[in-house]
Structure 1
Amino acid sequence: MKTKDISLVALFVTLTIVGAQISIPIGTVPITLQVLMVFLTGYFLKPTLALLTQSIYLLLGIIGLPVFANFSGGFASIIGPTGGYLIAFPLAAWIISLSKKDYFSMFLHGILGIAIIYTLGVLVLNYHLHDFKKAFMIGVVPFIGIDFLKMCLAVIISKRVLKVVEA
């Protein structure tokens, strides 16, 4: 790995940690900027680096560092009600990073990434609630519009920054 790649991985791990702490509690699943950082990780990094970045973030939390929302961490976070969302981050970042960096591809891969996050998130939340409809209503419905806006913001940011960097 090049020094640049190591630096980018460290930067996006750090941004994800910071994004997790910007949290609005609205119930079982808080609104955070983690998903925005997953989008940015995917749009800025190559697939293997995007996967590595979010995997490192996940591992830091699993070993107990307070990197998840509200400064939480530990294995209990992964097996808890919101664990499915966290587990989905590496795969979602990888899928998002496969985009060709044109608007259509970025939106398509962004939608696939968020679908992965919602699917795994709702499955684990359903396990805890024993009610799929309730899990969907709590874990997806309040976030669809917000996460779409995060995706749009990530596309705009990444297109502008990549344009400057590549110039």
Structure 2
Amino acid sequence: MVKTRLRGVIYAAQLAILLAISAQIIIPLPLIPFTAQTLAVGILATISDFKLSAWTIGGYLLLGLVGLPVFAGATAGIGVLVGPSGGYLWSFFLQAWIINKCRNVGGKQYLVFGNLLGALSQLLIGSVWLKFVSQLSWTAAFGAGTLPFLLPGLIKGVLASLIGQLLLNRLRAPLQMR
């Protein structure tokens, strides 16, 4: 029991580090930057159970909260978590839950759907947060926080499900936190 729990904690720590590294991978595009952070969330939720995903995301957010520069653009601190982009970070939990639920209900054939729905939910929650924190109109919040990210989100959702599927085939079963 202790051995399997320790294994889960080690998995969560390793995945949180990978999430932090992926947040630093930024491809500048004409309208918006393309970060690998949400792609990594999709992959980790695809290859692990929700408990492990939640521990990983929680650990990642905690690392940023205590000041380690793990968020996109090497940022950190409570200001990021409660600022305009905070909703996108907090919604990683919902994104992971949706991906896990779709995989558990429909199996591997629902991974693309789960990743796309998870990515969309992450964008929508982030935009609602952006609206209230930045005191924007609904139109402005969704115009700035969702619309420009739909195509990159679609690409990341498909990539996350494909990469996750390849990893699941190697793992034979999702990683678990017991």
TM-score of Structure 1 vs Structure 2, range by shorter chain: 0.7 to 0.9
Q: Tell me the distance in 2 between the aligned counterparts of 1:108 and 1:12.
A: 23
TM-align CA RMSD = 2.2
Q: Tell me the distance in 2 between the aligned counterparts of 1:29 and 1:93.
A: 23
User: Identity of paired residues, percent?
Assistant: 32
Amino acid at match of 1:49: L
Report deviation, 1:76: 0.3
Q: After the TM superposition, which of the residue ranges 20-29 and 147-156 deviates more from structure 2?
A: 20-29
Amino acid at match of 1:139: G
Q: Tell me the distance in 2 between the aligned counterparts of 1:27 and 1:132.
A: 24
Report deviation, 1:145: 1.3
3-state DSSP class of the match of 1:157? helix
**1:28 touches 1:81 (CA, 8 Å); kept in 2?**
no
Q: Tell me the distance in 1 between the aligned counterparts of 2:62 and 2:10.
A: 18
Q: Tell me the distance in 1 between the aligned counterparts of 2:19 and 2:11.
A: 12
Aligned to 1:120: 125
Give the 3 Å change call, closer, same or farther, for CA 112–138 of structure 1 in structure 2. same
Report deviation, 1:113: 1.4
Give the 3 Å change call, closer, same or farther, for CA 27–71 of structure 1 in structure 2. farther
**2:32 touches 2:149 (CA, 8 Å); kept in 1?**
no
Match of 1:54 among 52, 57, 70: 57
| TM-score normalized with structure 1 length | 0.88
3-state DSSP class of the match of 1:70? coil
**Structure 2 alignment gaps of length 5 or more:** 174-178
3-state DSSP class of the match of 1:68? coil
**1:48 touches 1:94 (CA, 8 Å); kept in 2?**
no
Aligned to 2:38: 35
| TM-score normalized with structure 2 length | 0.83
Q: Tell me the distance in 1 between the aligned counterparts of 2:29 and 2:81.
A: 19
Q: Tell me the distance in 1 between the aligned counterparts of 2:32 and 2:84.
A: 8
Report deviation, 1:30: 4.1
Aligned to 1:79: 82
**1:41 touches 1:97 (CA, 8 Å); kept in 2?**
no
Q: Tell me the distance in 1 between the aligned counterparts of 2:83 and 2:141.
A: 13
Deviations 1:26-77 (A, max 9, x none): 6997431111011011101111111111111112112221110111110000
Match of 2:161 among 152, 155, 164: 155
**1:43 touches 1:158 (CA, 8 Å); kept in 2?**
yes
1:165 and 2:171 are equivalent in the alignment: yes
Report deviation, 1:19: 1.0
**Structure 1 alignment gaps of length 5 or more:** none
Give the 3 Å change call, closer, same or farther, for CA 30–126 of structure 1 in structure 2. farther
3-state DSSP class of the match of 1:130? coil
Q: Would you say how many aligned residue pairs link Structure 1 and Structure 2?
A: 166
